[in-house]
Amino acid sequence: MLGSVRAHPGQRLGAACGRRARLAIAVALACAAGVTASVALGATSKAVEIDDPKEDVTGVLDLQRAALNLAPEGRLRAVITVARRLDPRELLAGTGPPGSLCVKVWTDEDADPATTRADRLVCVTARSSDELRASVLSQTAPGLPVRVTSAPVSVTRTGRSVVVRISQSSLGRPRLIRFAFESTRPGCERVSCVDEAPDKGAVRRFRVR
């Protein structure tokens, strides 16, 4: 009959050391993963800037530059710059749609901008001949966009740039968005009256949080 074989004290010590070594490695990997995750979550979004060709459309609403960044208070900050000083009365239309400067936003991370329209619009129009207004609109249902809320809008000192501050709650607090800018000349619904940035239906990505 074979008797049980006892491990040598050195063998037991080696096994224990091996287990401790494996445990230390596992803890180290877990800590590293935790640090990596915290760094990723704490990373801030960088501003996205888009330049647009001059004179690709006629009129004051010829886009020159547009930018999107995350303001310190947590709101998205969109800056849209046009060819020359913007007068609110130039956005008014006697007939047809008013002139507008819009940010098109796709809040679904899986959305395909090439085949689906933006589910949010943030548009600047004229409240009167001397005042601008900005609204967040929803396009999740068929038909015309539905107003969600207003958004603060201001004009820079040069008069060529409008600044719109967009609350994350008005967009549904997405983690990641796709976006593009466009301007539309007042009283005109033709494609030639629309200026896009980026051009040709392209979009940009922005990590909100």
pLDDT, tens only, 44-96: 368 999 999 887 777 789 999 999 999 999 999 999 999 999 999 999 998 88
Q: Are residues 80 and 134 in the same domain?
A: yes
Q: Are residues 96 and 154 in the same domain?
A: yes
Query: What residue numbers bound the domain in which 139 lies?
Result: 48-207
Q: Are residues 166 and 82 in the same domain?
A: yes
Residue 35 inside a domain? The answer is yes
Q: Are residues 93 and 169 in the same domain?
A: yes
Residue 187 inside a domain? The answer is yes
What totals of helices (H) and strands (E) does the chain contain, helices first? Answer: 1, 12
Residue 151 inside a domain? The answer is yes
**Mean pLDDT, range 179-206, rounded to an integer:** 91
Q: Are residues 170 and 90 in the same domain?
A: yes
Binning pLDDT at 50, 70 and 90, where does residue 16 land? very low
Counting the structural domains of the chain, the total is 2
Residue 104 inside a domain? The answer is yes
Residue 113 inside a domain? The answer is yes
State the Cα–Cα distance between residues 162 and 139, nearest whole angstrom: 23
Q: Could you tell me what percent of the chain has a pLDDT over 70?
A: 78
Give the domain CATH number at 186.
2.60.40.1190
Q: Are residues 104 and 144 in the same domain?
A: yes
Q: Are residues 66 and 161 in the same domain?
A: yes
Q: Are residues 96 and 64 in the same domain?
A: yes
Residue 130 inside a domain? The answer is yes
Q: What is the pLDDT of residues 133-164, one digit of tens each?
A: 999 999 998 889 999 999 999 999 999 999 99
Q: Are residues 132 and 148 in the same domain?
A: yes
Q: Are residues 162 and 118 in the same domain?
A: yes
What is the 3 state secondary structure string of 134-166? EEEEECCCCCCCEEEEEECEEECCCCCEEEEEE
Residue 118 inside a domain? The answer is yes
Q: Are residues 79 and 23 in the same domain?
A: no
Collect all residues with Cβ–Cβ distance below 8 Å to 105 and sequence separation of at least 6.
Answer: 118, 119, 120, 121, 122, 171, 177, 178, 179
**Mean pLDDT, range 184-196, rounded to an integer:** 88
Q: Is the confidence at residue 2, as pLDDT, over 50?
A: no
Residue 81 inside a domain? The answer is yes
